Structure 1
Amino acid sequence: MPATTGPRRRADAERNIARIVSAARSTLSADPNASVDDIAKAAGVGRMTLYGHFRTRADLVEAALADALRAGDQTLATVDLTGDPRQALARLLESSWSLVAESAALLTAAQEVLPAGRVRELHTAPAERVEELVRRGQRDGVFRTDLPITWLVGVVHYVLKGAAEENRAGRIKTADIAHLVTATVLPALTASTPAPHQPT
């Protein structure tokens, strides 16, 4: 049935790619140094099949990180960021830490094989969401303006990443992470003397 050979092969290829990327995400999240063989085994495909879609381990690591960030961005897009910027940031942090826990390990793998510029590019969307929220808080007078916004956004990222690493090491409990992250980030970003709300 020649008419269906092409579409069927494409469908099979797409399923293989999805399976490989999913396996790469889970395998690299557990071990950033996981080999191509480890990922192929987890995906249930042979090395030749894997290399037919991803020429190098770096290509596969990039695909896994991009997929994880894309899925995370879709999740965070549903978080209500309206109202008081401090409460909005708390909601965002509570939803972010588990996503960061996965992407932190993937990021470690990516930093070893990808150019720094490419890693930053992949993180553009998550960083922009936090940056816009911090800017709104600054305009409302509730977030500090005495430090560069890039530093404040970095603080959010570093605390989330640190919490994920502490959890992986077994030093803090999963149930405590949301509270610890929020209790650390909000005081760090909050203005010492919030400006009174200006009526519109």
Structure 2
Amino acid sequence: MADKPMGGRKAQAARNDKLILEAAREVFITDPEAPIADVAKLAGVGISALYRRYPSKEDLLRKLCSDGLSRYTELVREAVETEGDPWDAFCTFLRKVVEADTPSITTRLAGTFTPSPDLFEAAVAADAFNRALIDRLKDAGLLRAEIENGDLALVTESVASINLGGAERTRELRLRCLELHLEALRAPGAEPLPGSAPTEEEMGARWKHLEG
């Protein structure tokens, strides 16, 4: 049975929520310290309507991060479970991550709010898929042996930092840069990489931790 269309108030609330989240992403990726009033202004909704949905800025930031993590997890799970050439699945996964711009949430919002227990659990699940994908590629002899989970995070974050020209030009340049990274990630690699991959502790230090 098809879902019934939402009534007037529910439909308006859903539209407002979509506008709020789109505006919040734009505002906070540009300036994580921006006041929540800037989100309401860009979304074109009253501040009271925003607070009814998100009682605090932290609630809104957690929602943004949760949505970004959910999308990322969906993409990495798809790469792990896709049959066929593992390298093609890996490249497709990273291109989709760049297109979805999920790393911008990490690079700009890390440390600006306290993640919930559910968000930590979701991050652990995403991490497990990341490791499964890396193991699959290494078992197939397709990924450089020294590449670890943290390396991939830094690759996507560095690509997400590109912001030149308009939105379409930025997208084009990010995808171009990603292809350079993909060439460097593929086994066997010309020369050994210097240093070591970032540790879980180093990557996790950017985020606030739950108290207690």
Q: Which residue does 2:152 correspond to in 1?
A: 156
SS in 2 for 1:111: coil
Please give the residue correspondences for 1:116-127 in structure 2 after superposition, counting only pairs within 5 Å. 120-124=120-124, 126-127=126-127
Q: What displacement does 1:61 show?
A: 0.8
In the alignment, residue 168 of structure 1 is paired with which amino acid? N
> Structure 1 residues 188, 97: closer, same or farther in 2, change over 3 A?
farther
Please give the residue correspondences for 1:6-155 in structure 2 after superposition, counting only pairs within 5 Å. 7-74=7-74, 81-99=82-100, 101-105=101-105, 107-115=107-115, 120-124=120-124, 126-143=126-143, 152-155=148-151
> Structure 1 residues 142, 184: closer, same or farther in 2, change over 3 A?
closer
CA-based RMSD: 3.6
> How many residues matched?
180
Contact (CA 8 Å) 2:95, 2:175: kept in 1 or not? no
More helix by share: 1
In the alignment, residue 38 of structure 1 is paired with which amino acid? D
> Structure 1 residues 128, 13: closer, same or farther in 2, change over 3 A?
same
Give CA deviations for 1:56-102 in whole Å, capped at 9, x if unaligned.
Answer: 10000111222233345556666684333233222222222233x45
Q: Percent identity?
A: 24
Q: Distance in 2 between matches of 1:189 and 1:61?
A: 39
Q: What displacement does 1:117 show?
A: 6.3
SS in 2 for 1:113: coil
Unaligned 5+ segments in structure 2 are: 1-6, 193-212
Contact (CA 8 Å) 2:141, 2:187: kept in 1 or not? no
Contact (CA 8 Å) 1:29, 1:102: kept in 2 or not? no
Q: Distance in 2 between matches of 1:64 and 1:97?
A: 17
Choose 47-56 or 67-76, whichever is displaced more. 67-76
Q: Distance in 1 between matches of 2:65 and 2:39?
A: 14
Q: Distance in 1 between matches of 2:47 and 2:22?
A: 16
Q: Distance in 1 between matches of 2:42 and 2:111?
A: 22
> Structure 1 residues 85, 74: closer, same or farther in 2, change over 3 A?
closer
Unaligned 5+ segments in structure 1 are: 1-6, 193-200
Q: Distance in 2 between matches of 1:155 and 1:111?
A: 20
Q: What displacement does 1:110 show?
A: 4.5
Contact (CA 8 Å) 2:27, 2:34: kept in 1 or not? yes
> Structure 1 residues 54, 34: closer, same or farther in 2, change over 3 A?
same
Q: Distance in 1 between matches of 2:77 and 2:139?
A: 22
Contact (CA 8 Å) 1:25, 1:65: kept in 2 or not? no
Q: Which residue does 1:168 correspond to in 2?
A: 163
Q: TM-score, normalised by structure 1?
A: 0.69
Q: Distance in 2 between matches of 1:185 and 1:96?
A: 16
Choose 110-119 or 132-141, whichever is displaced more. 110-119
Q: Which residue does 1:178 correspond to in 2?
A: 178
Q: What displacement does 1:159 show?
A: 1.0
Q: Distance in 1 between matches of 2:178 and 2:52?
A: 41
Q: Distance in 2 between matches of 1:189 and 1:125?
A: 29
